[in-house]
């Protein structure tokens, strides 16, 4: 057979040589043709190329080395070694040649001669090994012609298998006809491609389907379009359909959600369970066979056969390979199932959240369900197989111990294992309780953080940010208190984890010595390996129980949420019998009561009302009477107590009182999912008075709108809402106070052009506080105390002198007369001829950075490696890094003592004559106990560092955010800040310190094992250097792609949360417009974007692990072969056995090192993101000690503007252009002007929200730019246009700083007309206020804000539309209160209502950033051509229509 083999080898050598010579000749001949051939660096070297070259080179080295060894040892010249070696050397040369020079058509495949040689070699080695094994075990003698395996054949067998797979894989990929010859890279949309589904088995096993992604990531920065889509089975639509179907089948059962989830993923879970089982079984083969291997080393003689040792080495290698591959598939499969479950549950919660009633769960609760509970359930897929794997692991460990040591020691091991688990259980329970406390504290902190971010403008204007920061830090301190206890408990758990093998081994060996059970090197090392594996179930049991409990809590929370009363939407009826569009039936509607003492407004309908097609129905009433509630009851948004409910025939459109604007463009907000009809669209913009605004913006209607429309004024938001409703072309329109946020001219324009003309054929119900709009209505509904007090035509109701409408109208007439007395020119009582309404639009321009046209950007990720300063900042945050060397020393001493104790017992077991049994066990116990003490020290010091570091980073970030200018909050969605404050901070609190430390500890362990192995067989050290170099190269190749994927995972989560938050806030509007399906499609697309990034992020980690695992398994295999090959006299069997025992964990340890190296960098992105927000440019100092104003400043309240210039950005145009005027002390000044005139910019400059670019502002002679912001803002009072309430009580909302007595609070409550409302609740000042003040009407919220400012008693007061949402009667009372209470103050009023500013001492009219008019109202009215005169004339005209 040897002769035949030599002939075959020579034949292949000749064929290979011929091929390479011919190819070189052909290449030279065609060399002039550019592009036909190219070098490897031009196309990017593949991993498979490198592995292929290494395998060829290793086999060549084996044969040549073995030939030299045979010649050196016995002067024998082996032809087989020489010819095989030469052929493999030539194959290696051709491999290198093919890697460097290959035509484009050959780029994906190896030369056919090389593939044939690899396949032949693999078949030959397989037969050789099989024949040898059969002959050895069955004692069967094969004929001489059959191949016989030697040491090199055994060593080359796994490498030849790898080459064979490479050959087959390249053949599969070489079919170029599957793809077009010319294909533009940019045209390949990865969204449509799914590389995983189309991959072959080998590609899935080795994760080669990720190679194109790595190649792209190597040459350019990865972005979302570059990431292939997830498999169809993981898409949100498919996953949610599966879960919905399962829920339908389980509908009647109580535990329907967990059963439904299991049913939806049962097949994937079963397949995943098979991989988990194979992995567990394979991991116990090493400890099982280590006794045989050590016994073989002890018993073999220098002249004995090494074949039995080679078989053991091969079995070890195959077992480790199966363990590695099955583990990779198990972990990846668990992650994939998690992706599917997360997608399905997120869609389920979203569907529910946009269908539940108006008074459903808070935004914060739903965000927590997504951020915490859904993530936890997805993560549980990792742990679920532990339920049955854990008892299996314990059983297998005990079986091995029983085989080696007998029944009694095994029972002792079992009892000590149970004891450790029992000790661990209370710690695990404590961990769980503390974790729950941490989550509760975190929920509270995130909730208040979210509220603060939404209200940051108000906090800064009132100079309350320092107080609210203290409140937030107190909540963080509570969280830190629980975190500290949790981490120290984790230290105890870690100590128990590492000490458990010591306790179990000391107990077991102690019993062996007591019972005189013989201990050999083999049984001792096998037992030690088994104890090390027993660590996992001991540690995993409490963690598993904790995860099961936490997951159950999360499932219960979600199940409770999805079982809440389903929103019963009013169906879209089609009227067939009559012209009636709305039927309001008799009945009662009531908000859900969280507390029975809280008297929420109830709507009572005492008579049936039919509203015909084309009717205009006006709803009026005082503040808190129930106008909005009536409209919502018609929409079905309030729980129905009795009666059949309202019926609405046809399609509906709804404009809520608090504007709901989506993040997107102006056009997207107006179209709201409908097709673009350009002509109609332009008409709608003109009808809703938006055309002038659109022309002002650089990107016109494609201008980006910020979160909650924060870069729009109140009037712009209201008009965009109205345009959305008008463009929908619905049958029924329900408008809730659409005119409150706009000025007199714009209000008249909207009422006339929109309601009376464009919607003349439509049915419209509108609530309003502007009573001048009542007369045009076909039906007026007067609301009082939640009931329709009066209904009928305006003419009929106004006749009754005792009616509620007449009472309200008398207040309106009073305000009308107030304006009329100021108007000297009689001609103004009739409408002026051809007043250009749009020209004198009085509107509030954006109260922000003034750059509405600037597109809002997606969050920009930092590219490239995480910088070293991020690591250094993190490591040195706590105690300047002083504890880091102490922790490292503890780990080194632990590792040394542990290895020393293991070597001692293995060595002493073989020296029974020289070492007594008592001494053996005592020394072992002392060494092991010493190592455990260092572990405890390491864990405690690490917890201390983790607590201190996380707190330092949190304080740095949150302080920086609170000191950021308002422009930062206008341009940064709150979800980005919340992401850092919640997800990233949690990672820093509980994850990163342990990941980073785990990496260092694993490196120390790995180095110690390498040193141990090198002591036994020094050639292994060289192999380790090669393998470590290859692993480092793989890791470097991997990290460029993985890093960007990890960054994208964080970034892609924020849009889901943002869309959730936005949808929940606008759920009523979405339902009314029947847009649920469109919003559902959008959330599914966002979930799929997140899923595909997460899916490929998980895959890349396994891709790296597969390759590095194989390399280290190969090193372990070669170590065993070296140990088998060395003479008995050249090795210490105890040391060799110890090296083999530690080598069993080599692949797991190196995978842990590599995985941690990559994962640490991925996790450090959280630190990087937090550090980004520690360097935000801050506002001016809060206090400047050298320039502090007097405590009683300002005493007079005189404001002087001297040549004031303001621009938001040097690149933007100047907004205020040289304004010079004086606001005298103790005077009332009204400010008016069209959009963009600079009114709000002037207010912002006064509060230094934006700093002047020229000129200055003096208050009582003090230049405000020279003093601290807190000194300035705390001395001024302001009521912003959007009334802001905080979750808490009436008391905390009126007096957040807790500086006033109850008596003072009741005084301002009475002054603002809030007393009756507050007394409705028995708790009075302690009555609860919901999130965003949802349990108060908008008008009531404005009254609270007014009371809040009056309480402060400031000399300078700014009213920015302070009474826009209040009825006229209440407004008159409030204005009278303001006049009385601020008689000695300077009051600056920006208002749309003429009566609000008509009695002011001075009126400032701005236009294009300059002073257009500035004088007393009386003097301005003398000139009928003045802008102010036109404004007053318009008000008088429309008011006179209501009065006469």
Contact yes or no for 713/1241 (Cβ under 8 A): no
Pairwise CA distance, residues 459 & 1158, whole Å: 42
Query: Using N-to-C axis directions, what is the helix angle for 1368-1381 and 1338-1352, rounded to 10°?
Result: 10
**Which tokens hold the place of 1101?**
């980690």
Alpha-helical segments (H) within 963-984: 966-971, 974-979
Q: Which of 662-671, 932-941, 1104-1113, 1389-1398 has the lowest mean pLDDT?
A: 1389-1398
Q: What percent of the chain has pLDDT over 70?
A: 79
pLDDT tier, 1402 (very low <50, low <70, confident <90, very high otherwise): confident
Q: Is the pLDDT of residue 571 over 70?
A: no
Q: Which of 59-73, 520-534, 772-786, 842-856 has the lowest mean pLDDT?
A: 842-856
DSSP string, 191-234: TT--TTTT--HHHHHHTGGGHHHHHHHHHS---GGGSPPPPGGG
Q: Which of 563-567, 736-740, 966-970 has the lowest mean pLDDT?
A: 563-567
Q: Which residues contact 489 (CB under 8 A, 6 or more apart)?
A: 427, 430, 431, 434
Pairwise CA distance, residues 461 & 453, whole Å: 14
Which tens digit of pLDDT belongs to each residue from 269-324?
Answer: 888 888 888 888 888 888 888 777 777 777 766 556 677 777 888 888 888 888 88
Q: What is the mean pLDDT of residues 795-823?
A: 63
**Which tokens hold the place of 1164?**
């450090």
Residue 565: its pLDDT value, please?
Answer: 53
Q: What are phi and psi of 1356, to 5 degrees?
A: -120, 125
Contact yes or no for 1205/1254 (Cβ under 8 A): yes
Residue 471: its pLDDT value, please?
Answer: 86
Residues paired with residue 620 on neighbouring β-strands, in sequence order? 782
Contact yes or no for 1429/1437 (Cβ under 8 A): no
Question: CA distances (Å), 808 to each of 784, 815, 1299, in order?
Answer: 11, 11, 37
Average pLDDT, the chain: 75
Smallest CA-to-CA distance from 624 within 1347, 1337, 1362 is with: 1337
Pairwise CA distance, residues 890 & 899, whole Å: 14
Contact yes or no for 500/535 (Cβ under 8 A): yes
Of 1003 and 5, more confident:
1003
Which tens digit of pLDDT belongs to each residue from 436-494?
Answer: 788 788 888 888 888 888 788 888 888 888 888 888 888 888 888 888 888 888 888 88
Q: Is the pLDDT of residue 884 over 80?
A: yes
Pairwise CA distance, residues 1440 & 471, whole Å: 52
Which tens digit of pLDDT belongs to each residue from 572-621?
Answer: 454 444 577 788 888 777 766 544 444 444 677 778 888 888 888 888 88
**Which tokens hold the place of 989?**
């609190």
Pairwise CA distance, residues 421 & 504, whole Å: 11
Residues in the chain: 1444
Q: What are phi and psi of 1203, to 5 degrees?
A: 45, 50
Q: Is the pLDDT of residue 802 over 70?
A: no
1152 exposed, middle or buried (CB, 10 Å; 0-12, 13-18, 19+)? buried
Question: CA distances (Å), 855 to each of 491, 711, 842, in order?
Answer: 49, 11, 26
Q: Which residues contact 37 (CB under 8 A, 6 or more apart)?
A: 27, 30, 31, 101, 102, 103
Residue 187: its pLDDT value, please?
Answer: 35
Q: Is the pLDDT of residue 760 over 50?
A: yes
**DSSP-derived secondary structure letter, 784:** E
Residue 850: its pLDDT value, please?
Answer: 40
Q: What is the mean pLDDT of residues 688-717?
A: 76
Smallest CA-to-CA distance from 1043 within 939, 1171, 1163 is with: 1163
Which tens digit of pLDDT belongs to each residue from 940-997?
Answer: 888 888 888 888 888 888 888 888 888 787 777 777 788 788 777 777 887 788 888 8
Pairwise CA distance, residues 686 & 697, whole Å: 15
**Helix, strand, coil % in the chain, rounded to nearest 5:** 65, 10, 25
DSSP 3-state assignment of 639? coil
**Which tokens hold the place of 1336?**
């108060």
Q: Is the pLDDT of residue 330 over 70?
A: yes
Contact yes or no for 1251/849 (Cβ under 8 A): no
Smallest CA-to-CA distance from 483 within 1122, 951, 891, 1101 is with: 951
Half-sphere exposure of 630 (CA within 13 A, CB side): 32
Residue 176: its pLDDT value, please?
Answer: 37
Q: Is the pLDDT of residue 1086 over 80?
A: yes
664: left (phi over 0), alpha (psi -120 to 50) or beta: left
pLDDT tier, 568 (very low <50, low <70, confident <90, very high otherwise): very low
Residue 1074: its pLDDT value, please?
Answer: 83
DSSP 3-state assignment of 795? helix
Pairwise CA distance, residues 579 & 1432, whole Å: 40
Residue 191: its pLDDT value, please?
Answer: 43
Residue 263: its pLDDT value, please?
Answer: 79
Q: Which of 698-707, 1018-1027, 1125-1134, 1155-1164 has the lowest mean pLDDT?
A: 1125-1134
Q: What percent of the chain has pLDDT over 90?
A: 0
Q: What is the mean pLDDT of residues 1190-1194?
A: 82
Q: Is the pLDDT of residue 561 over 80?
A: no
Pairwise CA distance, residues 1149 & 1143, whole Å: 9
**DSSP-derived secondary structure letter, 374:** I
pLDDT tier, 817 (very low <50, low <70, confident <90, very high otherwise): low
Contact yes or no for 965/1179 (Cβ under 8 A): yes
DSSP 3-state assignment of 840? helix
Pairwise CA distance, residues 427 & 969, whole Å: 43
pLDDT tier, 1361 (very low <50, low <70, confident <90, very high otherwise): low
Residues paired with residue 732 on neighbouring β-strands, in sequence order? 652, 763
Contact yes or no for 798/650 (Cβ under 8 A): no
Smallest CA-to-CA distance from 435 within 494, 376, 366 is with: 376
Residue 385: its pLDDT value, please?
Answer: 84
Half-sphere exposure of 888 (CA within 13 A, CB side): 10
Q: Is pTM beyond 0.75 here?
A: no
Smallest CA-to-CA distance from 1348 within 1287, 1307, 1389, 1318 is with: 1307
What is the tally of helices (H) and strands (E) in the chain? 50, 28
Q: What is the mean pLDDT of residues 984-1013?
A: 80
**Which tokens hold the place of 525?**
């090392």
Q: Is the pLDDT of residue 163 over 60?
A: yes
DSSP 3-state assignment of 90? helix
Rounded to 5°, angle at Cα 939 from 934 and 943: 150
Q: What is the mean pLDDT of residues 1226-1245?
A: 79
b/e burial code for range 39-65 (CB count within 10 A of at least 16 → b):
ebeeeebbbbbbbbbbbbbbbbbbbbe
Cβ count near 607 (within 10 Å): 9
Smallest CA-to-CA distance from 59 within 94, 92, 96 is with: 92
């Amino acid at each position: 057979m040897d002769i035949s083999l030599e002939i075959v080898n020579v034949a292949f050598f000749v064929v290979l040589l011929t091929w390479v010579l011919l190819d070189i000749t052909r290449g030279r001949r065609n060399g002039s043709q550019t592009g036909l051939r190219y070098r490897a660096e031009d196309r990017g070297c593949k991993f498979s190329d490198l592995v292929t070259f290494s395998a060829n080179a290793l086999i060549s080295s084996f044969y040549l080395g073995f030939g030299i060894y045979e010649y050196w040892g016995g002067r024998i010249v082996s032809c087989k070694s020489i010819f095989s070696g030469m052929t493999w050397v030539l194959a290696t040369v051709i491999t290198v040649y093919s890697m460097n020079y290959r035509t484009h058509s050959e780029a994906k495949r190896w030369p056919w001669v090389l593939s044939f040689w690899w396949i032949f070699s693999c078949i030959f080695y397989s037969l050789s090994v099989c024949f040898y094994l059969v002959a050895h075990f069955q004692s069967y003698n094969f004929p001489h012609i059959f191949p016989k395996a030697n040491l090199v054949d055994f060593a080359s067998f796994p490498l030849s298998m790898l080459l064979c797979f490479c050959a087959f894989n390249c053949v599969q990929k070489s079919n170029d006809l599957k793809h077009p010859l010319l294909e533009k890279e940019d045209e390949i949309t990865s969204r449509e491609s799914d590389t995983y589904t189309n991959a072959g088995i080998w590609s899935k096993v080795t994760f080669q389907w990720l190679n194109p992604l790595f190649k792209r990531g190597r040459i350019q920065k990865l972005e979302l379009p570059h990431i292939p889509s997830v498999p169809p089975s993981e898409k949100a639509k498919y996953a949610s359909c599966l879960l919905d179907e399962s829920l339908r089948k389980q509908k009647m059962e109580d535990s329907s959600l967990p059963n439904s989830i299991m049913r939806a993923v049962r097949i994937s879970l079963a397949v995943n369970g098979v991989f988990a089982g194979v992995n567990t079984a394979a991991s116990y083969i090493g400890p099982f066979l280590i006794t045989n291997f050590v016994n073989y080393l002890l018993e073999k003689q220098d002249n004995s056969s090494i074949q039995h040792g080679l078989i053991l080495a091969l079995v070890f290698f195959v077992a480790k390979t199966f363990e590695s591959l099955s583990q990779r598939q198990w972990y990846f499969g668990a992650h994939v199932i998690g992706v599917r479950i997360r997608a399905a549950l997120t869609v389920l919660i979203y569907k529910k959240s946009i269908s539940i009633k108006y008074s459903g769960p808070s935004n914060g609760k739903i965000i927590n369900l997504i951020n915490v509970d859904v993530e936890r359930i997805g993560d549980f897929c990792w742990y679920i197989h532990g339920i049955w794997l854990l008892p299996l692991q314990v059983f297998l460990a005990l079986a091995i111990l029983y085989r080696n040591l007998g029944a009694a020691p095994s029972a002792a091991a079992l009892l000590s294992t149970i004891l450790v688990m029992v000790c661990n259980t209370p710690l695990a329970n404590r961990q769980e309780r503390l974790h729950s406390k941490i989550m509760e504290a975190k929920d509270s902190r995130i909730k208040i953080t979210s509220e603060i971010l939404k209200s940051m403008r108000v906090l800064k204007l009132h100079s309350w940010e320092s107080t609210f920061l203290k409140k937030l830090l107190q909540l963080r301190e509570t969280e830190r208190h629980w975190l500290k206890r949790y981490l120290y408990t984790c230290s105890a758990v870690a100590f128990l984890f590492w000490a458990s093998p010591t306790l179990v081994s000391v107990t077991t060996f102690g019993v062996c010595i007591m019972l005189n059970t013989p201990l050999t090197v083999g049984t001792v090392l096998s037992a030690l390996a088994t104890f090390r594996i027993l660590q996992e179930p001991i540690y995993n049991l409490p963690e598993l129980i904790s995860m099961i409990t936490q997951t159950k809590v999360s499932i219960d929370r979600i199940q409770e949420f999805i079982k809440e009363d389903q929103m019963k939407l009013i169906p879209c009826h089609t009227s067939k019998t009559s012209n009636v569009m709305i039927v309001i039936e008799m009945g009662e509607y009531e908000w859900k009561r969280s507390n029975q003492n809280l008297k929420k407004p109830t709507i009572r309908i005492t008579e049936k009302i039919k509203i015909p097609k084309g009717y205009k129905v006006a709803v009026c009433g005082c503040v808190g009477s129930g106008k909005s509630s009536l409209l919502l009851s018609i929409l079905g948004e309030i729980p129905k107590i009795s009666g059949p409910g309202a019926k609405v025939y046809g399609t509906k459109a709804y404009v809520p009182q608090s504007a709901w604007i989506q993040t997107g463009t102006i056009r997207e907000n107006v179209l709201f999912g409908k097709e673009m009809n350009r002509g109609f669209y332009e008409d709608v913009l003109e009808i809703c008075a938006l055309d002038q605004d659109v022309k002002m913006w650089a990107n016109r209607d494609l201008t980006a709108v910020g979160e909650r429309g924060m870069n729009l004024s109140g009037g712009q938001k209201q008009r965009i809402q109205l345009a959305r409703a008008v463009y929908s072309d619905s049958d029924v329109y329900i408008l809730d106070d659409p005119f409150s946020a706009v000025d007199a001219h714009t209000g008249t324009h909207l009422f006339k052009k929109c309601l009376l003309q464009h919607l003349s054929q439509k049915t419209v119900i509108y609530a309003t506080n502007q009573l001048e709009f009542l007369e045009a209505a076909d039906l007026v509904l007067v609301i009082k105390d939640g009931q329709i007090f009066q209904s009928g035509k305006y003419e009929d109701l106004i006749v009754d002198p005792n009616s509620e409408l007449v009472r309200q109208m008398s207040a309106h007439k009073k305000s009308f007369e107030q304006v009329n007395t100021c108007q000297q020119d009689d001609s103004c009582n009739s409408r002026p001829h051809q007043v250009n309404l749009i020209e004198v639009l009085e509107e509030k321009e954006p109260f922000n950075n003034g750059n509405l046209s600037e597109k809002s950007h997606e969050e920009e990720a930092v590219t490239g490696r995480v910088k070293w300063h991020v690591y250094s900042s993190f490591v040195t945050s706590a105690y300047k890094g002083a504890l880091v060397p102490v922790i490292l020393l503890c780990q080194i001493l632990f590792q040394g003592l542990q290895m020393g104790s293991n070597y001692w017992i293995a060595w002493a077991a073989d020296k029974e004559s020289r070492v007594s049994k008592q001494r053996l066990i005592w020394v072992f116990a002392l060494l092991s106990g010493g190592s455990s003490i260092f572990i405890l020290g390491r864990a405690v010091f690490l917890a201390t560092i983790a607590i201190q570091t996380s707190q330092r980073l949190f304080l740095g970030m949150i302080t920086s955010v609170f000191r950021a200018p308002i422009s930062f909050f206008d341009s940064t969605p709150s979800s980005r800040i919340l992401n850092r404050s919640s997800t990233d901070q949690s990672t820093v609190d509980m994850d990163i310190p342990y990941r980073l430390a785990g990496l260092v500890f694993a490196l120390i362990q790995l180095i110690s094992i390498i040193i141990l192995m090198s002591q036994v067989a020094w050639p292994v050290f060289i192999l380790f250097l090669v393998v470590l170099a290859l692993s480092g190269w793989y890791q470097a190749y991997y990290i460029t792609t993985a890093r960007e994927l990890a960054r994208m995972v964080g970034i892609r989560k924020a849009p889901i949360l943002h869309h959730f938050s936005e949808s929940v806030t606008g759920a009523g509007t979405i339902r009314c417009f029947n847009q649920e399906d469109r919003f559902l499609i959008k959330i599914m697309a966002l979930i799929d974007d997140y899923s595909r990034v997460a899916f490929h992020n998980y895959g890349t980690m396994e891709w790296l692990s597969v390759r590095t695992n194989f390399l280290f398994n190969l090193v372990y295999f070669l170590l065993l072969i070296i140990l088998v090959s060395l003479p008995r006299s050249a090795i210490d069997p105890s040391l060799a056995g110890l090296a083999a025992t530690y080598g069993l964990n080599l692949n797991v340890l190196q995978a842990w090192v590599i995985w941690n190296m990559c994962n640490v960098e991925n996790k450090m992105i959280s630190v990087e993101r937090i550090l980004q927000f520690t360097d935000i440019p801050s506002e001016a100092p809060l206090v400047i000690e050298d320039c502090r104003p007097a405590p009683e400043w300002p005493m007079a309240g005189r404001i002087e503007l001297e040549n004031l210039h303001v621009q938001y950005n040097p690149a933007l145009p100047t907004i205020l252009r040289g304004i010079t005027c004086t606001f005298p002390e103790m005077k009332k000044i009204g400010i008016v002007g069209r959009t963009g005139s600079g009114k709000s910019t002037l207010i912002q400059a006064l509060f230094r929200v934006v700093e002047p670019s020229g000129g200055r502002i003096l208050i009582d002679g003090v230049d405000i730019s020279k003093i601290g912001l807190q000194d300035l803002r705390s001395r001024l009072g302001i009521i912003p246009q959007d009334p802001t309430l905080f979750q808490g009580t009436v008391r905390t909302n009126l007096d957040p700083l807790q500086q006033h007595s109850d008596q003072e609070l009741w005084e301002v409550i009475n002054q603002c007309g809030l007393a009756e409302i507050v007394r409705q609740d028995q708790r009075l000042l302690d009555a609860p206020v919901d999130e965003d003040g949802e349990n108060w009407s908008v008008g009531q919220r404005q009254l609270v804000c007014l009371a809040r400012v009056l309480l402060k008693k400031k000399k300078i007061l700014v009213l920015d539309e302070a009474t826009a949402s209040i009825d006229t009667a209440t407004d008159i009372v409030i204005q009278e209160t303001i006049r009385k209470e601020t008689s000695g103050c300077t009051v600056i009023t920006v208002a749309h209502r003429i009566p609000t500013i008509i009695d002011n001492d001075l009126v400032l009219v701005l236009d294009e950033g300059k002073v257009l008019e500035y004088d007393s109202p009386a003097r301005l009215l003398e000139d009928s051509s003045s802008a102010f005169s036109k404004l007053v004339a318009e008000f008088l005209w429309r008011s006179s229509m209501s009065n006469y």
